[in-house]
Amino acid sequence: MPQFWDLRVQGMSHIDIAAGNQSGTNWSSVFGVVGGIFLVALCLVAAYFAFRWFNANRGGGASTSMDLGDRKKIRNHIESGNYEAAGDLYLKAGSLTEAAETFMKAGSFIKAAKTFQQAGNHTQAVHCFKKAGEFSQAAQVYATMGQHMAAAAEYFQAGEYEASATEYEKAEDWRRAAETHEKVKNFRRAGELYEKAGDEVRAAENFAHYFEDAMSRQGGLDEIGEDRAFALRAGKAFQELGDYSKASQIFEQAGYLVEAADALRESGELARAAQLYMRASEPLKAAQILEEAGEDVQAAKMRAEAALKSGDLRTAAERFRQAGDLERAVGLLEECEAWGDAAEVREELGDLEKAMELYERVERFGNAARCAESLGRLERASELYRQAQDLDGEIRVLVQQGDFFRAGRLQFEHRRHHEALETLQNIDSRDPIYPRAIELQGDILRAQGRFEKAYSRYRAALGMRDCNPSTLALFYKMGRVLEDEQDRTGALEHYNAILAVDKTYEDVSVRVKGLLGRGRKSTVPGTTSSGIFAAPDGVEGPRYEILEEVARGGMGIVYKARDTVLGRIVAFKILGENLRDNETAVKYFLREARAAAALSHPNIVTIFDAGEQDGEYYMAMEFVEGTTLKELIKKKGALPEDQVRYILVHCCRALQYAHSKGVIHRDIKSGNVMITREKALKIMDFGLAKFMREYQKEHTQQVGTPFYMSPEQIIGKNIDFRSDLYSLGCTIFECATGTVPFFKGDLSYHHVHTRPPTPRSINSTLSKDLERVILKMLEKNPDARYQSAKEIADAIMSPESA
């Protein structure tokens, strides 16, 4: 265009404008000027339409031509204030910006917002939506723009909280998202977001609310399924935060009873925790915390329930008993046949009749006697006390019954001389038993050494009767006290009166011979009239002065006697007539006695002497006061394990010593082992067993019952010291269980062929190592047993080596 303008100017340069048109009209120049003007106008029009096209496209609308009529209408609408109509025309023409701005002037903010949004002007669109109160649509625009926080705020303003929460989550504002979810009771999501935000308290509260809602919606624990786990999350959170009350509450609601109890336990609410443990079938935990709280009775009940659940009736019964629930305890004890314990509980309950029956069933006669006495059944009580060897009980009941004679006799038999005399004084002289009571008083006085008074009582008991079979005992006693008083003449008179009636009565003939100073020489080679030790010169009469009878048995009579040579008290055993007439047996008796006399050990009854005195073959031994194992077991039953071990060790020491000297006992049994008053152990009758076997060979009479005999003894094999170990095994089995291994049927067959029962099957309280030791002692084959008594002692003192 500049070039074109330059041409026009150059073309007109020859014209003199100021001079006018003196040379005439130049039409080519005129047309050139007009053409230039037209060209300029055309450029201006093109520029105008280009400008309109640009504006139309800038507003986002399509390029739409607006005719002069539309513009005129728009102008008229604007001039008349009808902006909305003007805006509609702009919108129709595609002038989006002008339309949106005109709608704003008209107050049509929604149309304006939508038009701005169409034009891509999101900021103005949001502004107009907000002006129109359309916060939700404003939020949508913000969301489109990626401005999630702004979108969340607008949704919140619109009351669309779930959408708001979603936008907060997109913006990773976990706390506001959680709060918004919580506002619409979306507790599960709220809890999860509070966890992300690090707010454990609010998280726990929301999980708890979620669980409670699930419970109310679905009707119970069985229906809520996996939602129950959110209660566990809540409870654990509260517990970690130290809010044990809330934790236990939510745990309990959700059925997590153990967790609830744990929380209460941490808070110190032990009683409530124990209840929950019980509901959770955890009675042992309940018992433990009750014990911590000092609630021992309740704890015992819990432990009882636990034992009952596991099928341990015995333990359950013991715990119920400890808790004072005696009815349940006794029922369980009887169900598991624990009769002794059941009897104790019956007695505690006052059911004495049933208690007595059960006590008798387990041979606890003393307890049964106590029940009978309480029931007023004195005759039965007396009998039971006697079976229990409870002297005081038996005497007490006899006195209550008025049976002073039996009571006095018992007291005398147990050397309670003064008490016996006092008791017997209660007997009326008109009582038919009075003469026997006077005789018994004589026995007591004699035992006290009051011989003159004893003779007087015997004389009073005899009355006007002469010597006849019914009065022999009285004459004998009078002869004895006269002998004790050194009245030989009087003693001989009474003894001779006895011999006139019965030449074999007691030991009268021996005493007469002694009093007369007569003796007969031994008919057995190797014996002396004074035994192993000769009486010293100048000592007259027999060496052993008999004081009183102690016991009678198959071999003869045992007396308490005084050794006049050494001045000591001895047990003086003489052979019965059925034995002393067998010269072979007597020879073995003396030989074995002399061999045994060589033994000197603290656990062996010492044999001092053996020989013949006044025609009687005797053995003088250490006098031991005490009780045999047989008597002890009969009274108490199975002994405590520590006592059994003591007995076994000391028996082994005695046997090891004897075996080392070449002496085999051959008759170890509970009746041959004595516990002294000082609690020492003594084995008796070494050497006598072999003598009895020799006697047996020549007689058909069976001596003893083979409760303790080794298999090799029974089948007649040569035996060695290991036979004593088998017999000791039987004895210790009896101590540990209260019974011998075999006690019925063919005992000989059982000892040879039948395996013994295990001790623990009879007494479950025994240790396994003691059981192993006993069973090894009872092996049938001697080679399979322990090979020495010392080996047994070592095993029992060091169980790991058993």
Residue 722: its pLDDT value, please? 94
Asked if residue 463 has pLDDT above 90, the reply is no
Asked if residue 578 has pLDDT above 80, the reply is no
- The interaxial angle of helices 378-387 and 365-374, nearest 10 deg, is 160
Per-residue pLDDT of 28-42, as tens digits, reads 665 666 677 877 777
Residue 159: its pLDDT value, please? 87
Least reliable range by pLDDT among 64-73, 558-567, 620-629, 654-663: 64-73
Residue 670: its pLDDT value, please? 93
299 pLDDT band, cuts 50/70/90, is low
566 pLDDT band, cuts 50/70/90, is confident
High-pLDDT (> 90) share of the chain, %: 26
Asked if residue 61 has pLDDT above 70, the reply is no
3-state secondary structure of 801: helix
Rounded to two decimals, the pTM is: 0.39
Span 763-775, mean pLDDT?
A: 94
Residue 402: its pLDDT value, please? 92
Residue 158: its pLDDT value, please? 83
190 pLDDT band, cuts 50/70/90, is confident
- Long-range contacts of residues 334-339, Cβ cutoff 8 Å, at least 24 apart: 338/314
- Rounded Cα gap, residues 263 and 244, in angstroms: 5
Span 283-302, mean pLDDT?
A: 63
Q: Which residues of 416-447 are buried (b: 16+ CB within 10 A; e: fewer)?
A: bbebbbebbeebeeeeeebbebbbbbbbbbbe
Q: Closest by alpha carbon to 753, among 777, 778, 774?
A: 778
Tell me the DSSP string of 9-46.
HHHTTT--TTT-STT---HHHHHHHHHHHHHHHHHHHH
The backbone torsions φ and ψ at residue 555, rounded to the nearest 5 degrees and listed phi first, read -90, -15
The residue type of 296 is D
Exposure of 225 by Cβ count < 10 A (0-12 exposed, 13-18 middle, 19+ buried)?
exposed
Residue 218: its pLDDT value, please? 64
Span 368-386, mean pLDDT?
A: 90
Residue 104: its pLDDT value, please? 87
The residue type of 629 is L
Residue 699: its pLDDT value, please? 42
Asked if residue 684 has pLDDT above 90, the reply is no
User: Which class does domain 627-802 fall in?
Assistant: mainly alpha
Please tell me which of 22-36, 43-57, 499-513, 572-586 the model is most confident about, judged by mean pLDDT.
Answer: 499-513
Exposure of 182 by Cβ count < 10 A (0-12 exposed, 13-18 middle, 19+ buried)?
buried
Residue 65: its pLDDT value, please? 52
Exposure of 749 by Cβ count < 10 A (0-12 exposed, 13-18 middle, 19+ buried)?
exposed
Residue 215: its pLDDT value, please? 67
Asked if residue 14 has pLDDT above 50, the reply is no
Asked if residue 667 has pLDDT above 50, the reply is yes
Residue 284: its pLDDT value, please? 60
Asked if residue 255 has pLDDT above 90, the reply is no
Per-residue pLDDT of 497-545, as tens digits, reads 999 999 999 889 888 888 887 333 333 333 333 344 444 444 456 788 8
Span 732-756, mean pLDDT?
A: 91
- In the chain, where the domains are located: 1-11+31-56, 528-623, 627-802
How long, in residues, is the chain?
802
Residue 655: its pLDDT value, please? 95
- Rounded Cα gap, residues 263 and 238, in angstroms: 9
User: Considering just the CA atoms, what is the radius of gyration of the chain in Å?
Assistant: 62
Asked if residue 786 has pLDDT above 90, the reply is yes
Residue 728: its pLDDT value, please? 97
HSE at residue 789, side-chain half, CA atoms within 13 A, is 24
Per-residue pLDDT of 80-126, as tens digits, reads 888 888 888 888 888 898 888 888 888 888 888 888 888 889 888 88
Asked if residue 417 has pLDDT above 80, the reply is yes
Per-residue pLDDT of 473-493, as tens digits, reads 999 999 998 988 888 888 899
Residue 264: its pLDDT value, please? 64
Residue 762: its pLDDT value, please? 93
Asked if residue 708 has pLDDT above 90, the reply is yes
Please tell me which of 72-81, 175-184, 749-758 the model is most confident about, judged by mean pLDDT.
Answer: 749-758
- Rounded Cα gap, residues 721 and 216, in angstroms: 86
226 pLDDT band, cuts 50/70/90, is low
Q: Closest by alpha carbon to 184, among 159, 215, 212, 154?
A: 159
**Could you tell me which residues come within 8 angstroms of residue 307 by beta carbon, excluding any fewer than 6 positions away?**
313, 315, 316, 319
Starting at the edge strand found earlier in the chain, the sheet holding 626-628 runs 626-628, 673-676, 681-683
Residue 535: its pLDDT value, please? 46
For domain 528-623, is the CATH number 3.30.200.20? yes
Q: Give the position of tokens 């989550």.
A: 169
Span 645-661, mean pLDDT?
A: 94
